[in-house]
Structure 1
Amino acid sequence: MSIVSDLIRDLPKGPLDTYRKRATFDWKSFKLTLEGEDNVRFQEKLWELVRINPAFQRPTGPISLDEVRRRCNAQIKVLCDNNINAVHAREKFFYIFEYDGSLSVKLSLIHSAVPVAILALGTKQHHHFVEELNNGNYMCCLSLTEISHGSNARGIRTTATYDIATRSFILHTPDFEAAKCWSGGLGKCATHAIVFAQLITPDGVNRNLHLFVVPIRDPKTHLPFPGVTIGDMGEKLGLNGIDNGFMIFDKYSISRICLLNRTANVSEDGKYVLAVKDGRRRYGLSLSALSSGRSTVPLMCAHYMILAVTIATRYCAVRKQFGPTDEDDELPIIEYQTQQWRIFPHLAATYAIKIFSTEFYKTMIEFIANHFTKGDLNTDIQIEIHVLSCATKPLCSWIARDMIQDCRESCGGHGYLKMSRFGEIRADNDANCTYEGENNVIIQQASHWLLTQWTNVINGQPVPSPLGSADFLVDAEQILNTKFNQSTVENTLKPENLLLTFKWLVCYYLKKTYQHVKDLKSNGMSDFDIRNNSQILARTLSLVYGEHALMMYFIKCLQDPKWKVNEREVLIKLCSLFGAVTLEKRLGDLYGCAYASSNSNINVFLREGIITLCRDLLDNAVALVDVLAPPDFVLNSPLGMSDGEVYKHMKEWLFRDKENLERPSWWKETRSKL
């Protein structure tokens, strides 16, 4: 407890004390166990830097887009000077999302996604680029998407044609629709870009998409090189600290060594040489350049969710409305069942996604480290990381999107004020649904892999799942023969029983999707039409696979001996609530597909269980968000401050801007007769 007292500061006294005293656990001890001492120390260091450094002081009024970009760049420099980035801090780095998503996204692109791509797909001749990035001499962006092509990377039209005479590649953009766009950091800052282009060899053969490290701005003047046109994408709905840009090449010549050539190379005389002949290994190496970024999105979602659920829970514990009679004191709205039903499932989902995303990110980082330091490339792990990222990235970003909106609505009219911060959180998270693969497109890669595994099951072959997300498929027929047989709410809500139901759903949708694809094929449908006409089933398959993964990781966390009894008890309730709420949305499948009989009462058990769990979590709700919440100056919402003085902070916010109290310059226009 002395470590707890030294590391974690007390929260200020105020209206929230009533609920804090009702908690069944010590929130500081819980935080230390959940985060780990190293993480807690990092948070203290990070937040103290944010608190005292002038670069992080929030502006008191509106600022221009250019100033937003300048501030973001200045903050990145401060963090880098203090050795805080995605490479050194790893999963701890993502706490910065709670201060500003723009800052975190741009910094992770520069210091994580770009170096990973270079190290994964380049060779020793490219390592100096990483050194220049680390020392701040270069700033590099990723340039994949084009104006008319994004998710369909194979349709990218930028070309890199090898010229034997000059021993160089000629980058060319055929028209505006092929312009590179949305590259984070390109608009104003990048000196280099990792460009995805169709490699054309001197024999006229298109060797498909390859990556090139391309110098795009003169380091002496910061102006684009001749043959390169660069522009900014302009203001966005959110994340405006990131200078997303577009780029057009006009027969722009780059050195032959700009090609990232780990898997393939072009010799000086123009011959195309495969360095990695094994197609599966080549595919795995390519995935490493993309999966690392996608694997971070659930972790981003977790931090946005932490902000939203903290604000909503604290506000609802303070806001009072109505009472049993007109004479009684009004009750905090968190006491009402409908409000608990709105908020507490989101609290459970926040913990579920935080637990999953933290462990999943560690797995991805460990894999990359083993690959680069030991040369260990376990393709099965790499592919499963890719598949899990393709399923959980859409799942988590959609869960976050919906929960942020619900939290906003649960705070009523005050939640609609900009000061609440819900608008900023919602806008920043919204990008998670699109970048690193548009959700409805990228999710198909997970279902495609799962269908391949069903072929293995049918043929009695092993299911390669070293991370355990799909190893249960070898028992699919046995799982599908099980039925819901619980007779009480308590047994229904046990995490292990809920997990069995998730396994059944994955097996059911996998078998159903496989049969649907098989039927379409037997009817003579082309492969393209088969995929097009099976996407809805495949989408649900990928989602239930992702839901199973979140539940599986949550249960693994519960089994860790580090937890105190009272801490584990509340975590079990959160796990059960997440599982029950998720399955309640799939009751139609559970009944309609004969997992549960019409008189099984699974709907009653799940719904009564949700109500009971929400009621049981009431005493601990405020303490549970205290465990997750950043300091007040980071949270930056009068509705969610740790002292619970909502109305005091709202008054300060409203009176701070003198224009709120002044007569408008156009006051005479308010009445026609004036």
Structure 2
Amino acid sequence: MNTPNSRPTGQYADEVTDAGVAAVRRALDGRWHTLRDEIRARPDFADLRVHPGTDVETYRATIWEMLRRLADEGHAVHGFPTAVGGRGDIGGSVVSFEMLAFADLSLQVKSGVQWGLFGGAIQALGNAEQHARFLPGVMDLSLPGCFAMTETGHGSDVQSVHTTATYDPDTQEFVVDTPTESARKDYIGNAARDGRMAAVFVQLYSGPRDEQPERHGVHAVLVPLRDEDGTVLPGIEITDDGHKEGLNGVDNGRLAFHGVRVPRENLLDRYGAVAPDGTYSSSIESENRRFFTMLGALVRGRVSVSGSAVGAASLAQTIAVRYGEARRQFAAPGSDEEITVLDYLAHQRKLLPGLARTYALRLAQNELVEMLHDIQTTREAGGTVDEKRQRELESRAAGIKALTTWHATATIQACREACGGQGYLSENRLGQLRADTDVFTTFEGDNTVLLQLVAKGLISGYADDFGNLDTLGTVRFVADQVLDTVAERTSLRQLAERLRAVGPGRDEDDVLDRSWQVKLLDDREEHTLDGLVRRLRPAREKGISPDRQFAIFNNAQDHLLRAARAHLDGLVLDAFVRGIDSTVDPSARALLGKVCDLYALSVIEEDKGWFLEHGRISAARAKTVTAEVNRLCRELRPHARALVDAFGIPESWIGAPIATGAEHRRQDEARAHAASLH
């Protein structure tokens, strides 16, 4: 049986050494490479999967027991404060979560609900006393919890949630209510079976006795759901969301609250507190800024989903490439030997550009995790976080999450098709990966909405007073402040300057010249953003009605999304180049350089209609780009196995028979049988 570093013998056996694979893996592993290796060394990781076809109740119970195992082994402690027994390693918590993508994704998501969302909300929004009171139980799983933000009627528009928490100064309690059916908290992980407490996002009302309570915007309140025996508490209504297309080991449910009273101390009050007499206070005066500060503190969940998507794509590509190197079909003319399917250009086209994009997104994800870690560690230590840097983190997290989750969906489907009928068998994991990751494109933020956030950040220049996320607020902001300028210089512009400083590379008209690739993508970003600003300019005219302002914005949404995508493609290429620069091994640098070329040219090829329409490339150059993508696929074909081995997925974790040696044996037997017939 093959091990991760032992590529099949034959035509391509000695193209890449194990040392070269290790150097590429080191680049992909990034700053937390030691932690990744520690997790890879777990002997029992392959056991953290549930057999396909398991009924929902058994599935949920099994995932719960697996989660308990992880808790007992201290898997959850990485990101929590040292004061409560954690390690204070926020980046490490994201990486450890990402590695669970190679196990059962229901286990990964359930762990994310418990330790990333529920525990993360207490950590980010609570005070030191609340940390000491609740976080130890969160870490050791004695306090299983939920993150109750999304409502049936309000998903992406969190600022407009309808659930209320009204302070009663006579009892010093909050009264939590669900006023309408659309205000139910919906799709809440851990709610249907295991959760005993929820961090509930509410519209907060308070005021002194005998005065009408005043609304203070969205806050989070800890609400007990069940007692220690699992009995649902009075006033709590819980219904099961039922069977889903995937992730059926996660007990999603709906929550409604009917006059539920919780102590004043259960308000997570880091950004807004209520005194015993009902007086409200906050260090952030503006309700809008307070809301976005709170959401910014919760960005870890979005970053974690992004890492999970990259991990799932890596696993699917590992399975598909290994199978493609073993599966043979159709003999070449004049030969009795059937051709390995990965030797066909069509098959290479199906897998290798996507593999290059996974590499690019992994390196961009690594940078995102580092940014998150540095900013949140500074905040946890009581330091000052630059607000512009925080906004950049939020925008980048939104955009990278959209790219990685869309990529995972497309890639896993491509891998399933590349494996034919074998890819449709449950034992080979691709169908389950596809079902389990499909929801990633809409949870932790709908991807289309997230791209709008990225574009709004570009046109606002991360302005301090960028207001409400609603469309009319955005239009007014744009109309008043930003239509005479575009965003600050792009990361691609800065990359182009670095490349010029290094010195001339290839001919500047050579499509493999990095400066040409960078200039083309930078030109697209700048042009697209300029065009967006021009389309929005009429919204600043005097006397224009709110309806007309909305129509202008709505009619430009296609342009808004294109501007965001162009910007993100630049960020990802920039991260890829930095990843190559950080690699010392010459052979690894050379291999990564080819993969980067394939990524950049496949992005250009994908949008070559735009480049042709806008006169950025000629028809002949467009054909050259396609020809180079084909050539790079052929050139990287000998290294395909090395490239997936560099993901560092231990053999026992892969779990698909078509990728772990069984298919190679079947093919060998088939060839031996064919030879015996001649």
Say yes or no: TM over 0.5: yes
Task: Name the counterpart of 1:592.
Answer: 613
Distance (whole Å) between structure 1 residues aligned to residue 326 and residue 486 of structure 2: 58
Is 1:359 the equivalent of 2:363?
Answer: no
Is 1:368 the equivalent of 2:376?
Answer: yes
Cα shift readout 1:549-603 (whole Å, capped 9, x = no counterpart): 111100011111x33111111101111111110111111211222323x46x320
Distance (whole Å) between structure 2 residues aligned to residue 521 and residue 371 of structure 1: 38
- Are 2:331 and 2:339, in contact at CA under 8 Å, matched by a contact in 1? yes
The within-5 A match list for 1:428-577 is 428-453=436-461, 463=488, 469=491, 491-522=510-541, 524=545, 525-560=547-582, 562-577=583-598
The answer to which of 257-266 and 540-549 deviates more is 257-266
Task: Name the counterpart of 1:33.
Answer: 26
Distance (whole Å) between structure 2 residues aligned to residue 264 and residue 649 of structure 1: 67
Cα shift readout 1:153-188 (whole Å, capped 9, x = no counterpart): 133111111122222111111232211111111221
Letter in 1 for 2:72: D
- Are 1:299 and 1:353, in contact at CA under 8 Å, matched by a contact in 2? no
Return the match for 1:226 from 234, 246, 250.
Answer: 234
The answer to which of 257-266 and 641-650 deviates more is 641-650
- Are 2:126 and 2:268, in contact at CA under 8 Å, matched by a contact in 1? yes
Cα shift readout 1:56-112 (whole Å, capped 9, x = no counterpart): 3754x7422111111111112212222223525434311111111111222123223
Task: Name the counterpart of 1:394.
Answer: 402
Is 1:422 the equivalent of 2:430?
Answer: yes
Distance (whole Å) between structure 1 residues aligned to residue 196 and residue 437 of structure 2: 28
Q: Percent identity?
A: 25
Is 1:607 the equivalent of 2:626?
Answer: yes
Cα shift readout 1:262-313 (whole Å, capped 9, x = no counterpart): 2222222222223323668635531333321112222111111111111111
Is 1:377 the equivalent of 2:348?
Answer: no
- Are 1:12 and 1:642, in contact at CA under 8 Å, matched by a contact in 2? no
Letter in 2 for 1:142: F
Return the match for 2:118 from 114, 121, 125.
Answer: 114
Distance (whole Å) between structure 2 residues aligned to residue 628 and residue 378 of structure 1: 34
Query: What is the TM-score when the length of structure 1 is the normalising length?
Result: 0.85
Distance (whole Å) between structure 2 residues aligned to residue 157 and residue 281 of structure 1: 19
Displacement of 1:515 in angstroms is 1.0
Return the match for 1:123 from 90, 115, 127.
Answer: 127
Cα shift readout 1:422-465 (whole Å, capped 9, x = no counterpart): 111111211110100111122211111111129888767994x9
Distance (whole Å) between structure 2 residues aligned to residue 634 and residue 473 of structure 1: 38
Distance (whole Å) between structure 2 residues aligned to residue 462 and residue 540 of structure 1: 15
Task: Name the counterpart of 2:420.
Answer: 412
Is 1:197 the equivalent of 2:202?
Answer: yes
Return the match for 1:181 from 165, 181, 186.
Answer: 186
The within-5 A match list for 1:658-673 is none
Task: Name the counterpart of 1:336.
Answer: 344
The within-5 A match list for 1:282-361 is 282-283=290-291, 285-325=293-333, 327-361=335-369
Task: Name the counterpart of 1:258.
Answer: 266
Distance (whole Å) between structure 1 residues aligned to residue 406 and residue 280 of structure 2: 43
- Are 1:294 and 1:393, in contact at CA under 8 Å, matched by a contact in 2? yes
Letter in 1 for 2:48: F
**Cα distance, 1:99–1:615 mapped onto 2, change above 3 Å:** same
Return the match for 2:58 from 53, 67, 78.
Answer: 67
**Cα distance, 1:288–1:186 mapped onto 2, change above 3 Å:** same
Query: SS at 1:571's partner residue?
Result: helix
Distance (whole Å) between structure 2 residues aligned to residue 216 and residue 608 of structure 1: 60
Distance (whole Å) between structure 1 residues aligned to residue 9 and residue 327 of structure 2: 11
Task: Name the counterpart of 1:56.
Answer: 48
Distance (whole Å) between structure 1 residues aligned to residue 432 and residue 403 of structure 2: 21
Task: Name the counterpart of 1:92.
Answer: 95
**Cα distance, 1:260–1:303 mapped onto 2, change above 3 Å:** same
Aligned-residue RMSD, C-alpha: 3.1
Task: Name the counterpart of 2:223.
Answer: 214
Letter in 2 for 1:214: V
Letter in 1 for 2:598: L
Query: SS at 1:243's partner residue?
Result: coil
Letter in 1 for 2:563: L
- Are 2:483 and 2:534, in contact at CA under 8 Å, matched by a contact in 1? no
Cα shift readout 1:460-494 (whole Å, capped 9, x = no counterpart): 7994x9xx74885999xxx9xxxxx99787x2123
Unaligned runs of 5+ in 1: 1-8, 480-484, 652-674
Distance (whole Å) between structure 2 residues aligned to residue 412 and residue 647 of structure 1: 16
Cα shift readout 1:125-154 (whole Å, capped 9, x = no counterpart): 322222331243312211011122211213
Query: What is the TM-score when the length of structure 2 is the normalising length?
Result: 0.85
Distance (whole Å) between structure 2 residues aligned to residue 572 and residue 474 of structure 1: 16
- Are 2:539 and 2:549, in contact at CA under 8 Å, matched by a contact in 1? no
The answer to which of 229-238 and 308-317 deviates more is 229-238
- Are 1:315 and 1:639, in contact at CA under 8 Å, matched by a contact in 2? yes
Cα shift readout 1:516-561 (whole Å, capped 9, x = no counterpart): 111355465544333322211111111111111111100011111x
Distance (whole Å) between structure 2 residues aligned to residue 57 and residue 107 of structure 1: 14
Distance (whole Å) between structure 2 residues aligned to residue 499 and residue 37 of structure 1: 23
**Cα distance, 1:153–1:347 mapped onto 2, change above 3 Å:** same
- Are 1:296 and 1:357, in contact at CA under 8 Å, matched by a contact in 2? no
Letter in 1 for 2:221: F
**Cα distance, 1:184–1:345 mapped onto 2, change above 3 Å:** same
Task: Name the counterpart of 1:76.
Answer: 67
**Cα distance, 1:11–1:545 mapped onto 2, change above 3 Å:** closer
Letter in 2 for 1:530: I
**Cα distance, 1:206–1:649 mapped onto 2, change above 3 Å:** farther
Distance (whole Å) between structure 1 residues aligned to residue 495 and residue 15 of structure 2: 44
